[in-house]
Amino acid sequence: MFWKWTPIVSTMAVASAIVASPVAAADWSDYQYVSTVSGAVRCVLSSDHVSCERSGGGFPGAPASESGGGTMNIARVESDGSFGWGLANMGSGQDNMVTLQYDQPYQFKGWSVAPTSDGTRFTNDATGHGMFVNIDVVDPF
């Protein structure tokens, strides 16, 4: 599933964070899906952004879901460092899924990916912006 992303500037704007909109001629080569070894965090990378989904509920510290179902489950950082929260199911991307192995560096779509047993760091190669993600913490930079 693809969605249009609107960065969140306040928790009041959460409802407009992700608007589901089918993309007619999506090119799957524009996206790379990755998963942590545990499978607790899955992410999709494009040249413009990284979005990560925490399975089994939202991220601790994320804004509350307006539906009352816990906290937001999507953390997203743009290549320019803009950050926002969302609520969505990002799909499986199983044909294009890479399971990240600890302490093995990866390069996808202009992002350096550094998975460790403590979490995964995504850094945009051009801007140096990104985020660190694990099941307990999301730290954009």
Give tens-digit pLDDT for 94-129. 778 999 999 999 999 999 999 999 999 999 999 999
Tokens in use for 29? 């080569």
Residue 3 predicted with pLDDT over 80? no
121/5: higher pLDDT: 121
Residue 5 predicted with pLDDT over 50? no
Q: What is the mean pLDDT of residues 75-99?
A: 90
Amino acid 28: pLDDT: 60
Amino acid 56: pLDDT: 82
Amino acid 120: pLDDT: 98
Diameter over CA atoms, the chain: 39
Amino acid 33: pLDDT: 96
Helix (H, G, I), strand (E, B) or coil at 86: strand
Residue 7 predicted with pLDDT over 80? no
Whole-number average pLDDT of the chain: 82
Measured distance CA(88)–CA(90) in Å, rounded:
6
Give the pTM: 0.79
- Domain range enclosing 63: 3-140
33 with 111: CB under 8 angstroms?
A: no
Q: What is the mean pLDDT of residues 36-48?
A: 95
| 118 HSE (CA, 13 A, CB side) | 4
Measured distance CA(96)–CA(15) in Å, rounded:
29
**Number of structural domains the chain divides into:** 1
